[in-house]
């Protein structure tokens, strides 16, 4: 079987972590006798530097014609500190999500047994953590009208959701819960926001057609607290674009390191796989970044886009084995510290 993959390394540590995921994919291809073809594209700050835009047309075309997309990271501090800049690296990923209609963002929060004592939370609180953040990815405050008043003295961002947008992501969440622990928690701010009240209305209605699923409703401030107090009570955490962004970072650190977590951004035609962390500019080129979030994103790609369940499992098991042996980058071990490349090699050998 042959598959083509658009590879978009992006900024900061992006190229380094992507190289390790590609290494693992090559090993899978070799062991299971597949052919993976990679086509590289520019995105984010790297694309601005060369072409002047964060999402070049060639990159978008590439993403449309390949079987799946593997993405590194995006962001460059030189733009963060320039609030007046018209071009920004983030326009690359946001533009892709919109252009490819990647409305479902899955962020599994899984803790590897050997990393339990790396969590900032007590072992008995984190040991059974296993939930998925289902984040809506194409609506809300990210894509509503934004701007400044004429005199520049006030600014606004608007959050808009349609029933159609909420309906399609909610079905994803309920179906997923059916394959897991049968519980959906809708996280919103329905005591304040009109969009949240629309979410509740739609979800209450949809919940009726999934009687075997328990549905829970929680305000986002409370959810931020419950993720710390009793994280193992969640199964599928359904939420909007902005709340999902914030809560998934919070949830990720309880697993030991932000560098561990993969994600899938799925549309009806294609899907993009990326670690949930950012471009970590300070570590660029140092061979210290944790490649596991990206490697596990490649594993999600095998399972979800190519139906390669066993192959995907093989990657998880290899990561688990290497962690159990005490190896890791410096964010997850003080014992056998490896560089990005060397950790990638270890995991490759373990497959
Ligand atoms: C994420 C990131 C992005 C987001 C940024 C880079 C625009 O934080 O994927 O979580 O806010 O969605
Ligand atoms: Mg984020």
> What does the pLDDT look like over 248-285, one tens digit per residue?
999 999 999 999 999 999 999 999 999 999 999 999 99
What is the average per-residue pLDDT within 75-101? 92
Please report the atom of ligand 1 found closest to the CA of residue 248.
Answer: 10
Annotated catalytic residue 76: no
Span 209-256, pLDDT tens digits: 999 999 999 999 999 999 999 999 999 999 999 999 999 999 999 999
Which of 49, 157, 205, 221 is an active site residue?
Answer: 221
Contact at 8 Å (CB) between 349 and 29? no
**Looking at the chain, how many residues does it have?**
351
Give the three-state DSSP class for 182.
coil
- CA-nearest residue for atom 10, ligand 1, is 245
Annotated catalytic residue 79: no
Q: How many whole angstroms from its chain centre is CA 178?
A: 21
Q: What share of the chain is helix, strand, coil (3-state, %, to 5)?
A: 45, 20, 30
DSSP H or E stretch at residue 42? none
Please report the atom of ligand 1 found closest to the CA of residue 73.
Answer: 6
Residues β-bridged to residue 36 = 3
Annotated catalytic residue 118: no
> Which residues 6+ apart lie within 8 Å of 239 measured at CB?
133, 134, 135, 136, 186, 187, 188, 220, 223, 247
- Confidence at residue 82, expressed as pLDDT on a 0 to 100 scale: 85
What is the average per-residue pLDDT within 168-183? 98
Annotated catalytic residue 142: yes
Contact at 8 Å (CB) between 303 and 264? no
Calculate the average pLDDT of the chain: 97
Best probe residue, ligand 1, of 90, 95, 280 (max atoms within 8 Å of C-beta): 90
Best probe residue, ligand 1, of 278, 279, 294 (max atoms within 8 Å of C-beta): 278
- Confidence at residue 83, expressed as pLDDT on a 0 to 100 scale: 83
Residues β-bridged to residue 186 = 217, 238
Span 155-169, pLDDT tens digits: 999 999 999 999 999
Torsions phi, psi for 185 (to 5 deg): -110, 115
Span 56-69, pLDDT tens digits: 999 999 999 999 99
Contact at 8 Å (CB) between 28 and 311? yes
Which of 75, 71, 74, 110 has the alpha carbon at shortest distance from 252? 110
> Which residues 6+ apart lie within 8 Å of 44 measured at CB?
10, 11, 14, 54, 74, 75, 76, 89, 90, 92, 93, 279
- Between the alpha carbon of residue 16 and those of residues 71, 166, 348, the distances in Å are 12, 36, 15
DSSP H or E stretch at residue 146? strand 146-148
Contact at 8 Å (CB) between 102 and 138? yes
- Can you tell me the distance from the alpha carbon of 237 to that of 232, in angstroms, rounded to the nearest whole number? 12
């Amino acid at each position: 079987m042959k598959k083509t993959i658009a590879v978009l390394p992006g900024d900061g540590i992006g190229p380094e972590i992507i190289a390790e995921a590609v290494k693992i994919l090559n090993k899978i291809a070799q062991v299971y006798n597949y052919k993976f073809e990679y086509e590289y594209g520019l995105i984010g700050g790297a694309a601005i530097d060369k072409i002047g835009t964060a999402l070049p047309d060639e990159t978008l075309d590439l993403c449309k014609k390949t079987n799946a997309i593997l993405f590194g990271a995006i962001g460059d501090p030189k733009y963060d500190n320039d609030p007046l800049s018209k071009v920004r690296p983030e326009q690359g990923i946001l533009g892709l999500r919109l252009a490819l209609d990647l409305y479902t963002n899955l962020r599994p929060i899984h803790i590897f047994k050997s990393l339990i004592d790396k969590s900032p939370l007590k072992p008995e609180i984190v040991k059974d953590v296993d939930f998925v953040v289902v984040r809506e990815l194409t609506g809300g405050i990210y894509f509503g009208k934004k701007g400044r008043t004429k005199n520049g003295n006030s600014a606004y961002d608007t959050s808009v959701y349609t029933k159609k947008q909420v309906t399609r992501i909610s079905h994803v969440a309920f179906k997923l819960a059916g394959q897991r622990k049968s519980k959906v928690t809708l996280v919103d701010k329905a005591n304040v926001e009109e969009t949240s009240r629309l979410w509740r209305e739609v979800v209450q209605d949809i919940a009726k057609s999934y009687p075997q699923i328990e549905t829970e409703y929680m305000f986002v401030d409370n959810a931020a607290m419950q993720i710390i107090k009793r994280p193992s009570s969640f199964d599928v955490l359904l939420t909007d674009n902005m709340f999902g962004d914030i809560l998934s970072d919070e949830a990720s650190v309880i697993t030991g390191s932000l560098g561990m977590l993969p994600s899938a951004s799925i549309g009806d035609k294609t899907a993009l796989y990326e670690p949930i962390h950012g471009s970590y500019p300070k570590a660029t080129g140092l061979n210290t970044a944790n490649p596991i979030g990206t490697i596990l994103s490649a594993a999600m790609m095998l399972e979800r886009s190519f139906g390669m369940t066993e192959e995907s499992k093989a990657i998880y098991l290899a990561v688990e084995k290497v962690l159990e042996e005490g190896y890791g980058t410096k964010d997850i071990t003080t014992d056998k510290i490896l560089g990005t490349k060397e950790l990638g090699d270890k995991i490759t050998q373990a497959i």
